[in-house]
Amino acid sequence: MKLYNTLSKSIEDFKPIDENLVKMYTCGPTVYNYAHLGNLRTYIHEDILEKTLRYLGYNVKRVMNITDVGHLESDADEGEDKMLKGAKRENKTVWEIAQHYTDAFFRDIEKLNIKKADIVAKATDYINEYIEFIKGLEEKGYTYMANGNVYFDITKVEDYTKLSGMDLEQLKTASREEVSIDVHKKNPQDFVLWFTKSKFENQAMKWDSPWGVGYPGWHIECSVISLKNLGEQMDIHCGGVDHIPVHHTNEIAQTESYTGKPWVKYWWHSEFLIDQDGKMSKSKGEFLTLSLLEKKGFNPLSYRYYALNSHYRKQLAFSFDSLASAENAYMKLKSRIRSINDNADISEMELSKEAIKYKEEFKNCLEDDLNTANAITVLFNLLKADEVTNSEKIKLIEDFDKLLSLDLLKDEEVNEVHDEMAEYIEEMIQNRQEAKKNKNYQLADAIRAELLEKGIMLEDTRQGVNWKKIN
């Protein structure tokens, strides 16, 4: 198997540290809001990575954190506390916010057929371990105190930017988004390991520590949780490309300073989901969640199919039209499979040489840096292959779907949105909005009624107009 390694900036042969076990860490969600579709794209591809490793015969132990404390809006310890922001927004405690959105996240990944990590670790469950970790760094001379906070001194690390390849001036630009500068840092890239004083009054999540009552910095949790559950060295650390310049860079600095050993062998990063103006985020335009897609009539697995038709290292441009097109192709694929599935017993079937060729092609695509788009092409070619029997095709599809996880052999009908229908609905919504703008409420009501007759119900929200199919 070959994987792109962000650390070496090249595609490498995958060779785990321990041939009997692949140790894998995936950065989890910050549970202050629903997961964004861009985040979910990363989790889908991480799911494919883990399932490919298992498919190839590796044993895998995967750990994922849940960030329920201490994550600021900027990776550089600046901006507003995301958990506190969520609590204020919804008039709940930070603990209630964390639990609510943790539950929502796991509902989302279940709908997307994403396997849950073997170990899911909440950041708030490791406070004592953070303290011991910081004490260890303190004893080794990597920290300093300023304004009551414990900082990591990045000048003590010779190869601090080895992951990003940036110089410190580039890194400064990449990590700052018009936010206030922490004047207590010796160096702009230094980061907080433990806060006892911050700009936030009445911080709800606080714990006793040798440095005073406070809470951990964000970067520390992944280092400590991975050390606790995977040991001092691991094979693969995953995340989005936005984590490279600051979060993952800081993880490496503190972890390797603590252990004195190389930490991660392969750094794996997924690219952005973008719109026509560039990167999408929770603060920009319509907040794209899985629930929003469902409200608009899409099946969650259509989004998985959409994501798998692009390479994880390429940016994916999102639009509802392109998603509708993907759903149409996905529905046609399932329909074609249903037409050849006679539900015969295939458990003991031996595959012919012709059929085995497709199995090898499928495996080769995934071994080639997880080329899921080519793997799906192999699936379509299989369906057209005259030299392979229908029963063999179904057996192979069953095998392929262990990785693709698209429920290809499930018989239930799902909502289908064709390109033309989606375009028609969006056009009617625009016409209705224009009518309302011109105070032509009679026309606006007539458009709503026409759509309702066609089984499409509109829902006006602060974020815009949602639609969904009804019986």
H/E/C letters for each residue in 351-389? Answer: CCHHHHHHHHHHHHHHHECCCHHHHHHHHHHHHHCCCCC
Return the CATH architecture of domain 319-404.
Answer: Up-down Bundle (1.20)
* Confidence check: pLDDT of 418 > 70: no
More confident residue, 219 or 78: 219
Task: Specify the 3-state DSSP secondary structure of 471.
Answer: coil
* Confidence check: pLDDT of 419 > 80: no
| Per-residue pLDDT band at 71 (split at 50, 70, 90) | low
Burial class (CB in 10 A: 0-12, 13-18, 19+), 201: exposed
* Confidence check: pLDDT of 270 > 60: yes
For position 415, what pLDDT does the model report? 45
| Per-residue pLDDT band at 77 (split at 50, 70, 90) | low
* Confidence check: pLDDT of 84 > 80: no
Task: For residue range 228-250, list pLDDT tens digits in order.
Answer: 999 999 999 999 999 999 999 99
Domain boundaries, the chain: 2-274, 319-404, 419-469
Using DSSP bridges, classify how beta strands 273-275 and 278-279 pair: parallel, antiparallel or unpaired.
antiparallel
Q: One fold for both 2-274 and 319-404?
A: no
Lowest model confidence (mean pLDDT) among 203-217, 322-336, 414-428: 414-428
Is 23 in contact with 236 (CB distance < 8 Å)? yes
Distance CA 376, CA 404 (A): 8
For position 411, what pLDDT does the model report? 75
Fold topology of 2-274: Rossmann fold (3.40.50)
For position 91, what pLDDT does the model report? 72
| Per-residue pLDDT band at 73 (split at 50, 70, 90) | very low
* Confidence check: pLDDT of 459 > 90: no
Determine the average pLDDT of the residues in 279-286: 56
Determine the average pLDDT of the residues in 255-275: 97
Lowest model confidence (mean pLDDT) among 305-309, 395-399, 424-428: 424-428
* Phi, psi (rounded to 5 degrees) for 341: -90, 110
Lowest model confidence (mean pLDDT) among 213-217, 370-374, 377-381, 399-403: 213-217
For position 414, what pLDDT does the model report? 44
Query: Would you give the DSSP letter of residue 247?
Result: I
* Confidence check: pLDDT of 90 > 60: yes
For position 430, what pLDDT does the model report? 87
Determine the average pLDDT of the residues in 21-26: 98
For position 15, what pLDDT does the model report? 97
* Confidence check: pLDDT of 376 > 90: yes
For position 417, what pLDDT does the model report? 46
* Confidence check: pLDDT of 404 > 60: yes
For position 183, what pLDDT does the model report? 87
Task: For residue range 176-232, list pLDDT tens digits in order.
Answer: 543 447 889 999 999 999 999 876 556 678 999 999 999 999 899 999 999 999 999
| Per-residue pLDDT band at 34 (split at 50, 70, 90) | very high
**Average pLDDT across the chain, whole number:** 89
H/E/C letters for each residue in 294-332? Answer: HHCCCCHHHHHHHHHCCCCCCCEECCHHHHHHHHHHHHH
54's tokens: 């298992």
